[in-house]
Amino acid sequence: MDKLEIKAELEMQILACMVKEPENIPFIYQRVKPEDFQESNRELFQALTEIDLSKVKDSNLLILRLSDKKLKHWALQGIFNLEKKDVSFDSLIYNKILERFTDIGFSLKAEGLLKTKLKEAGESINGLDLLSDFVDECNNEISKIQNFKEETSYSVKVVIDEIEGELSNKKNTSFTTKGIPSFNSSTGGIKPTNLIGIAGSYKSGKTTLGLNLIMDFVKQGTPCGFFSLELSESELNRKILAMLSEIQYEKLREPKKLSDTERKTLVKLYTESLTQNKDFPLYISDKRMTEIEIRNKAKYWKDRHGVKIIAVDYIGYIKSKKKFDTRERELTYYSEFMKGLAKELELTVVALAQLNRNGKQNPGTENLAESIALARDCDFLFTIFNPLEIGMKSNNGFNFQENHFVVKLDTSRHTKNKRSFVLSLSDSGNFTEITTEYDNSFMKKESSSLLPPELAKYVKEEEVF
């Protein structure tokens, strides 16, 4: 079926639900409008929304009311046939019929908009104005999509279904690392729509920590994207190879320094890549981007490759086409944008941020460079620093070394903050946790069902992401 045929079938399902379950007409009318329907169906949709529902107790009475309206495109038998369709309000929600109907409507609008602009492009010499108008119209349509959201009333059952799915391993609703257990304990696992901030001063390890987290998820098979606004793709690729091979990054930058053993290690990795098709689901962009370009690339990665987590290194390098009075307002806008992006695309976003000069000696959110908005918008905001660089030689009897980094959960919406853990950095750029203030014992517990068998059968099966 083409798009118009699919849309026509979805229209019939929506109309059938309105006829069969009149009490749900107000809910549907809030989400779709008469102009969204074909002319023949628009007439019936409009008539259904105009009926006084206080005088209609069931679908039979509703059909009698409709018969009084003498609809031009609809015979009474056609409306009776709608009532016989196998569709309900639950199917409208759980099968995402309303969402699909809206998506295909926007697809048809985009097609029409492109055809119009192509025609105007053939007749106009004002290309810049034409492009600007096109972008504005596209952004208006995107805004409409963002404002569309199916709403349901609060259900205890739905929430406990989700918890049961997690405990019985039927539904994975969070991402956890294998290499840094205290990251899991401090966050409880990160979830789609979460904004994770990592802040540090210059050369404090924030990029390395962000890359370690992303590579941990990637090795588990979770598709990730990395926006490297600072390092080139070539530099980032070699940092990743250093982590995979456990060879010093410095030697991969200057391969002539490689030892015979290290060369053999690379040959082994190369052979595995060829024979086992051992590629990792990691997608990299090293282009300096506007916030809109980041959003479009992230959406492309998600739609095309199933990306679930993205990292932006770092937020201060985003360059918007918007004009701002101050740098603080600009950074505040980027912070809000990152949280909005996570919610809109249902991704986990890891945003790296710079601390100001005072942050070198006092690494905390109060010293975020130019804007502290990130502390407000993040679900979890970590700071990372080298303790020896700020004169901290030991803590609770633990002596720090040059390659040790302290990671502190500075702010959190969901868990207790202000606790920290210590990571050791290898020459190849891999972090290993060596001591922590967190209790990681719960991570070792076996999952078990919350509900007894007689209730577990009612749990709605959800797709595992």
Tokens of 368: 């975020």
Q: How confident is the model at residue 43 (pLDDT cuts 50, 70, 90)?
A: confident
Query: Across residues 437-461, what is the average pLDDT?
Result: 65
The yes-or-no verdict on residue 147 having pLDDT over 60 is no
Higher pLDDT, 378 or 109: 378
Strand order in the sheet with 420-425: 282-285, 224-228, 309-313, 348-354, 195-200, 380-385, 404-412, 420-425, 431-436
pLDDT at 421: 95
Query: Across residues 23-33, what is the average pLDDT?
Result: 81
Q: Which of 264-268, 314-318, 419-423, 458-462 has the lowest mean pLDDT?
A: 458-462
Name the average pLDDT for the chain: 83
Instruction: Give the CA-trace dihedral at 457, 447, 169, 99, to 10 degrees.
Output: 80
The yes-or-no verdict on residue 148 having pLDDT over 60 is no
Q: How confident is the model at residue 60 (pLDDT cuts 50, 70, 90)?
A: confident
Query: Across residues 174-193, what is the average pLDDT?
Result: 92
Share of the chain above pLDDT 70, in %: 83
Residues ≥6 apart with Cβ < 8 Å to 59 = 19, 20, 21, 22, 83
Phi, then psi, of 33 in degrees rounded to 5: -120, 160
Query: Across residues 383-391, what is the average pLDDT?
Result: 93
Question: Rounded to an integer, what distance in angstroms lies between the CA atom of residue 191 and that of residue 103?
Answer: 25
Higher pLDDT, 255 or 126: 255
pLDDT at 171: 56
pLDDT at 464: 42
User: Do 131 and 33 contact (CB within 8 A), yes or no?
Assistant: no
What is the SS3 assignment for 112-174? HHHHHHHHHHHHCCCHHHHHHHHHHHHHHHHHHHHHCCCCCCCCHHHHHHHHHHHHCCCCCCC
Q: Are strands 348-354 and 309-313 parallel, antiparallel or unpaired?
A: parallel
Tokens of 317: 């390098």
Bridge partners of 433?
A: 423
Closest by CA position to 191, among listed 350, 47, 22? 350
Residue in the structure block whose two tokens are 């309000």 = 89
End-to-end CA distance of the chain: 28
pLDDT at 449: 65
E-assigned strand segments in 215-347: 224-228, 282-285, 309-313
pLDDT at 75: 64
Task: Read off the pLDDT of residues 259-283 as tens digits, 9 standing for 90 and up.
Answer: 999 999 999 999 888 887 668 899 9
The yes-or-no verdict on residue 355 having pLDDT over 80 is yes
Question: Rounded to an integer, what distance in angstroms lies between the CA atom of residue 256 and that of residue 310?
Answer: 34
Q: How confident is the model at residue 215 (pLDDT cuts 50, 70, 90)?
A: very high
Question: Rounded to an integer, what distance in angstroms lies between the CA atom of residue 372 and that of residue 353?
Answer: 10
Instruction: Indicate the CATH number of 173-443 among 3.30.465.10, 3.40.50.740, 3.30.1360.10, 3.40.50.300.
Output: 3.40.50.300
Question: Rounded to an integer, what distance in angstroms lies between the CA atom of residue 29 and that of residue 1?
Answer: 26
Which amino acid, one-letter code, is at 462? Answer: E
Query: Across residues 19-33, what is the average pLDDT?
Result: 82
Share of the chain above pLDDT 90, in %: 39
116-131 as b/e, with b when 16 or more CB fall inside 10 Å? ebeeeeeeeeeeeeee
Closest by CA position to 309, among listed 337, 331, 341, 277? 341
Closest by CA position to 376, among listed 332, 343, 420, 340? 332
What is the SS3 assignment for 104-116? HHHHHHHHHHHHH
The yes-or-no verdict on residue 150 having pLDDT over 60 is no
What's this model's pTM, rounded to 2 decimal places? 0.67
411-447 as b/e, with b when 16 or more CB fall inside 10 Å? bbeeeebebbbbbebeebbbbebebbbbeeeeeeeee
Q: C-alpha angle with apex 40: 38 to 41, nearest 5 degrees? A: 70
The yes-or-no verdict on residue 97 having pLDDT over 50 is yes
Q: How confident is the model at residue 310 (pLDDT cuts 50, 70, 90)?
A: very high
Q: Which of 2-11, 110-119, 449-458 has the lowest mean pLDDT?
A: 449-458
Q: Are strands 309-313 and 224-228 parallel, antiparallel or unpaired?
A: parallel
The yes-or-no verdict on residue 55 having pLDDT over 70 is yes
User: Do 180 and 212 contact (CB within 8 A), yes or no?
Assistant: yes
The yes-or-no verdict on residue 463 having pLDDT over 50 is no
Question: Rounded to an integer, what distance in angstroms lies between the CA atom of residue 114 and that of residue 9?
Answer: 25
Q: How confident is the model at residue 108 (pLDDT cuts 50, 70, 90)?
A: confident
Question: Rounded to an integer, what distance in angstroms lies between the CA atom of residue 417 and that of residue 428?
Answer: 30
User: Do 410 and 417 contact (CB within 8 A), yes or no?
Assistant: yes
pLDDT at 363: 84
pLDDT at 465: 44
The yes-or-no verdict on residue 233 having pLDDT over 70 is yes
Question: Rounded to an integer, what distance in angstroms lies between the CA atom of residue 80 and that of residue 57?
Answer: 17
Angle between helices 291-305 and 327-345 (to 10 degrees): 20
